[in-house]
């Protein structure tokens, strides 16, 4: 049997009542942000239509699923673990944010076949910036996505290891790893010479294939199969690593990602993931 979980930061009675009507009874659990019905039989299409109509997040999940059933949770960084795209914010310091953001958006939607080239194009526009700009971006613009800290803490308590894997830059993943107590990180590296960005990358670009490989390698290190991993992302570059995970979550994601993942969060924070496992 399945469990229906409906969530919104300010979940209204009207939204809950709409699902009551569909299920045929009141929820088994209700708080300010979540309502859940146990042992339901309801079509996924009906749930999706109601969720869209009521502007809530609604998912059908297995009864009895627990966070402790999993061993790893992996996050994309930009627009997933944090609220911004770091490369776009860096580009703002040379007046090229709109140009870079347009490339970023196209890449996330899956409209650019060569991710590596799209990243190189964006990084080229950063040439000459003092490396101190990176710290400014981190201090002034990088913010954790809502619910990120709560989710990370809950996953750690449940025994999961935590990974951030990003096509973005090690400068930021290193700091997030320390800030959130993450166990693993993998990201692309900006080249610096004489205290300035050169407009080039150093080493391997963390594209979709590398993201998938990283999840596989970390799972092996942790001692679990990818089926015991939860992976969270928002762009086309995340799809390959999400495809091998036991649970994949599209977080405020592009349509191409929402259509190919286990669950989608469009209204809530990252900690809505806890609601899928009876911990909302």
With cut-offs at 50, 70 and 90, classify the pLDDT of residue 251.
very high
The predicted pLDDT at position 256 comes to 86
**pLDDT tens track for 40-92:** 999 999 999 999 999 999 999 999 899 999 999 999 999 999 999 999 999 99
For residue range 163-191, what is the model confidence (pLDDT) as tens digits? Answer: 999 999 999 999 999 999 999 999 999 99
Distance CA 146, CA 140 (A): 17
Mean predicted confidence (pLDDT) in 183-208:
98
Which pLDDT tens digit goes with each residue over 1-18?
899 999 999 999 999 999
Helices (H), ranges, the chain? 13-23, 44-54, 86-91, 97-108, 115-124, 132-140, 148-157, 170-180, 208-222, 239-243, 255-258
Of 20, 39, 69, 78, the active-site residue reads: 78
| Set 76, 88, 238, 271: catalytic member | 76
Percent of the chain with pLDDT over 90: 93
Dihedral of the alpha carbons of 44, 48, 49, 52, in degrees to the nearest 10: 170
Say if residue 258's pLDDT is above 70: yes
Confidence of residue 31 (pLDDT cuts 50, 70, 90): very high
Q: What's the mean pLDDT when you consider all of the chain? A: 96
Q: Take residue 213 and report the two structure tokens written for it.
A: 């490989």
Of the candidate CATH numbers 3.30.370, 3.30.70, 3.30.200, 1.10.3470, the domain formed by 1-64 belongs to 3.30.70
DSSP secondary structure string for all residues of 256-273: HHHTTSSEEESSS-GGGG
Instruction: Please report which confidence band the pLDDT of residue 279 belongs to, taking 50, 70 and 90 as the band edges.
Output: low
Q: Within 10 Å of residue 194's Cβ, how many Cβ atoms?
A: 7
pLDDT tens for each residue of 94-131: 999 999 999 999 988 888 889 999 999 999 999 999 99
Average pLDDT over residues 202-221: 98
The answer to whether 153 is a known catalytic residue is no
pTM: 0.95
Question: For this structure, is 21 an active site residue?
Answer: no
pLDDT for res 280: 59
Domain boundaries along the sequence of the chain: 1-64
């Amino acid at each position: 049997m399945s469990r229906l979980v409906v969530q919104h930061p300010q979940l209204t009675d009207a939204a809950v009542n709409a699902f009551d009507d569909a299920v045929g009874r009141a929820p088994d659990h209700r708080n300010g942000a979540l309502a859940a019905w146990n042992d339901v039989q309801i079509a996924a299409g009906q749930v999706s239509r109601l969720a869209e109509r009521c502007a809530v997040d609604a998912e059908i999940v297995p009864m009895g699923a627990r966070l402790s059933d999993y061993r790893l949770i992996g996050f994309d960084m930009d627009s997933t673990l944090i609220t911004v795209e770091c490369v776009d914010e860096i580009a703002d310091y040379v007046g090229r944010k709109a140009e870079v953001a347009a490339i970023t958006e196209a890449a996330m939607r899956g409209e650019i076949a060569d991710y590596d080239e799209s990243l190189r194009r964006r990084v080229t526009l950063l040439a000459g910036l003092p490396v101190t700009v990176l710290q400014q971006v981190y201090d002034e613009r990088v913010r954790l996505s809502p619910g990120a800290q709560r989710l990370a803490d809950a996953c750690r308590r449940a025994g999961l290891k935590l990974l951030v894997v990003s096509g973005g830059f090690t400068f930021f993943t290193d700091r997030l790893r320390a800030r959130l107590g993450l166990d693993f990180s993998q990201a692309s590296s900006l080249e610096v010479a004489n205290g300035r960005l050169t407009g080039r990358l150093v080493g391997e670009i963390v594209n979709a294939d590398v993201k998938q490989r990283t999840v596989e390698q970390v799972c092996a290190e942790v001692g679990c199969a990818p089926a015991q991993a939860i992976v969270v992302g928002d762009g086309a570059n995340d799809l390959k690593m999400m495809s091998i995970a036991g649970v994949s979550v599209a977080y405020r994601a592009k349509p191409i990602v929402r259509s190919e993942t286990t669950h989608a969060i469009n209204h809530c924070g990252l900690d809505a993931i806890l609601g899928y496992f009876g911990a909302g």
